[in-house]
Amino acid sequence: MKANAGQVRAALDHPRHRLILLHGPDAGLAAELAARLGKAMGDGAERVDLDGPALKVDPARLADEAASLSLFGDKRWIRVAGVGEESVPAIAALLEAERAGNPVLAVAPTAKATSKLVKLALDAKDALAFACYPPSPADLERQLAGTARELGLRVDPLLLRRLVAASGGESAIAVRELEKFALYLDADPDRPADLTPQAFDDLAADLGEAEAGRLVESVLAGDPALLGNELTRLRESGVSPIPWLRQLQRRLLSLAAMRADLDGGEPVDAVMKRHRVFFREEQATARALRAWGPDQLARALTRIRAAERAIMAPGNAGPVLAEQAVETIARAQARRR
């Protein structure tokens, strides 16, 4: 059965299906939904972790795990990462088994809606398939509004918009921030609390543009030492690399557009005015435009986009990939100074 966002969340909160298949490239959303099932099962539940390669070697194992009792008599659930077409026999065996009392959540980041794996879940009565694609800003705002209500938070739409922008459109990051707000404000559905702009600024500072701005400027300036300090600070703060990667990407794209206008003969001041560069950023932008040529900007963008795709892939090295990408760019720029 095909599920929408509301249906899949309801199914995860009250797990009754034999299989919930999350397919599509939004790893952050898939992680958020998996955490939702874990919360519904409870802290004492036993979680069994499998992956696509393991199911390819032993297709019967998934059905066996779904039918097995917990060693400690608690609830039990199975999470399968990185499944693809090689996992079709295992998923089919699960859906055809006589009994399977433990819910299975499978994440298939590369599976398309037309794949055999997804069609198998769509056609099964005891399965749900949900497509995890990055939501539009408006869709994410609506999703976060619902999450805020569940947490007992009353949030102004303008603050939700700020949260979407600050999280780089990553639903999992934004949801974690709402959970942090709710904990700080002691919010609960039975005693709702207002998220004020002041509380937002105090608690979400690590997601703000200014927070990652120094990292972006250190890359553009070709300053590996400063970049190292900023990476350490953000890593210790637990900030995901996705927002600052996307912020750097936006800055490089903006510079590329301005660079094209400069190469067309327009003066720097006119170009910055037309592109609405904030007056406090004019000097840094002018320096970047002098230091970066079209080829360097294109190579940096390619590297940043590749790092983001790699981070979203299953079984990745996480922040290390992002840090390696920006360090390489900063060192190359330092050599050109």
* Domain 5-131 and domain 209-336 have a common topology: no
Q: Which fold has domain 5-131?
A: Rossmann fold (3.40.50)
Domain at 209-336: CATH code: 1.20.272.10
- Count the neighbouring beta carbons within 10 Å of the beta carbon of residue 139: 14
pLDDT value at residue 10? 92
Query: ∠89-15-121 over CA atoms, to 5°?
Result: 30
With contact defined as beta carbons under 8 Å apart, do 87 and 80 qualify?
A: yes
CA distance 182 to 84: 37
Instruction: List all residues 6 or more positions away from 162 whose beta carbon is below 8 Å from its beta carbon.
Output: 200, 204
CATH class of 137-207: mainly alpha
The pLDDT tens digits for 178-221 are 988 998 899 999 999 999 988 887 776 555 455 577 899 999 99
Name the amino acid, one letter, at 317: A
pTM: 0.56
Quote the tokens at residue 250: 């936006």
Length, in residues, of the chain: 337
- Alpha-carbon 38 to chain mean position: 18
Sign of CA dihedral 261, 263, 265, 269: positive
SS3 168: coil
Name the amino acid, one letter, at 161: R
pLDDT tens per residue across all 337 residues of the chain: 999 888 999 999 999 999 999 998 887 788 888 988 998 999 888 999 999 889 999 999 999 999 988 766 678 999 998 899 999 999 999 999 988 889 999 999 888 889 999 999 999 989 999 998 877 888 889 989 999 999 999 999 988 988 887 776 777 778 878 988 998 899 999 999 999 988 887 776 555 455 577 899 999 999 999 999 988 888 776 667 877 888 888 889 889 989 988 888 888 888 888 888 877 778 888 989 999 999 999 999 999 988 887 876 666 666 788 899 999 999 999 988 7
Q: Give the residue extent of every domain in the chain.
A: 5-131, 137-207, 209-336
Q: Supply the DSSP string of 103-139, one letter for each residue.
A: -EEEEETT--TTSHHHHHHHH-TTEEEEE--PPPHHH
